[in-house]
Amino acid sequence: MRITVRLFATFRKGRFDAQIREVPPGTTVARVVEEVNLPGKEIGIVLVNSRHAGLSKVLADGDTLAIFPLVGGG
Amino acid sequence: MEDLRTFLAACARGDLLPWAGQAAAAERFHRTVGSVEEEALELGLMPARYQRNRRTISTAEQLKLFRSRVVIVGAGGLGGYVVEELARLGVGTLVVADPDTFEEHNLNRQLLASSTNLGAPKAEAAAERVGTINPAVRVVPLRSSFARENGAALLSGADAAVDALDTVTARVELARACREAGVPMVHGAIAGWYGQMATQMPGEDITPFIYPPGREAKGVETKLGNPAFTPAVVASLQVAEVCKILLGQGRCLQRRMLFLNLLEMEFEEVPIASGAAPGDPG
């Protein structure tokens, strides 16, 4: 199945802004995070089709996954 | 004794009250410049310092701002600009809480930091700065960190609170205290070229969305630091939100969060659902 992965801010460096990826059915958000080699401790907001999701969320064909880094400075 | 109102009317130029008149009235009638400001605004006189606000903020609205109390939690990068702008806007009472003192590495971005006040408490510096730009504004400096125990006392009587903190943990606590106190809160956070902001109105809970449970206490700012302009941008957005909250105008950034990318000049709106919060921790 095909999903679109959108990365934000620092996560784009050395990776991509948006990418269509072919993944096997049953793929979770956590699996994609691992595949694109995102540092787990830096992950903030995760959206699947503009809805907030956890890392264990199972993706479906056509989903758009958006991942933002955690921002907390003041 | 001459009546204060007569004196103010005599000092006025049209419906503007020049600062010299406001200061003279305070001295003559043994009042604070703040109480003279309130009296003038009640009379329909706009202190002349606010004259360029006029197409945006009416005299009646200026009085509303003067009678407002805003709590700014954190007087660092974001907080310094927030204090500055709220003081220039003419918000009457600013409670500024920060336990820290200025260090050299604050100088690249913190408005209240200067080469002459290194080592000085940030909350006190806020009071000092406001005293020089708008003495009608009362600053309550608190050299304390925000914690669950002092949250209710800190927020007492507040019309709005500004989250200018620097850890996820403290931000979550502040949002909780604001919910419990029914105080609107404007969240802002920064890291390098990036920032985010959102407004939590009474009855709402934005934290599970902006900081899902299980996340780290600090974000990518630990790696990126913060340059001069990011706090200024995010703080200004926060102040615009506070101004609208105090005046009951416009539309706030509710049920959505703005994620700013100043490196690529992209502004992404992240929806904050009113329904169920996201599930498992990261």
Average pLDDT over residues B111-126: 98
- Regarding pTM above 0.80, the answer is yes
pLDDT tens, position by position, B224-242: 999 999 999 999 999 999 9
Residues 6+ apart with CB under 8 A from B138: B34, B92, B93, B94
pLDDT tens, position by position, A12-34: 999 999 999 999 999 999 999 99
What pLDDT sits at residue B282? 39
Report chain A residues whose CB lies below 8 A from the CB of B164.
74
Placement of tokens 């290194």 in the chain: B118
- Name the CA dihedral angle for B34, B35, B41, B45, rounded to a multiple of 10 degrees: -80
Confidence band of B116 (pLDDT split at 50, 70, 90): very high
| CA triple B171-B175-B181, angle to 5 deg | 140
Report chain A residues whose CB lies below 8 A from the CB of B271.
47, 50-51
| Chain-centre distance for alpha carbon A5 | 6
Contact A71 B166 (CB under 8 A): no
DSSP assignments along B113-154, one per residue: --TT-TTSBHHHHHHHHHHHH-TTSEEEEE-----TTTHHHH
Contact B166 A73 (CB under 8 A): yes
ipTM of the complex: 0.95
Residue of A nearest to B276 (CA): A52
| CA triple B35-B63-B24, angle to 5 deg | 35
User: How far apart are the CA of B179 and the nearest CA of chain A, in angstroms?
Assistant: 20
**Looking at beta carbons, which pairs linking A47-51 to residues 24 or more positions away fall under 8 Å?**
A47/B270, A47/B271, A50/B271, A51/B271, A51/B273
Question: Residue B155, CB half-sphere, CA atoms under 13 Å: how many?
Answer: 24
User: Which of B261, B280, B282 lies nearest to residue A43, judging by beta carbons?
Assistant: B282
Could you tell me if A18 lies within 8 Å of chain B, comparing CB atoms? Answer: no
pLDDT tens, position by position, B45-79: 999 999 999 889 999 999 999 999 999 999 999 99
Average pLDDT over residues B150-179: 96
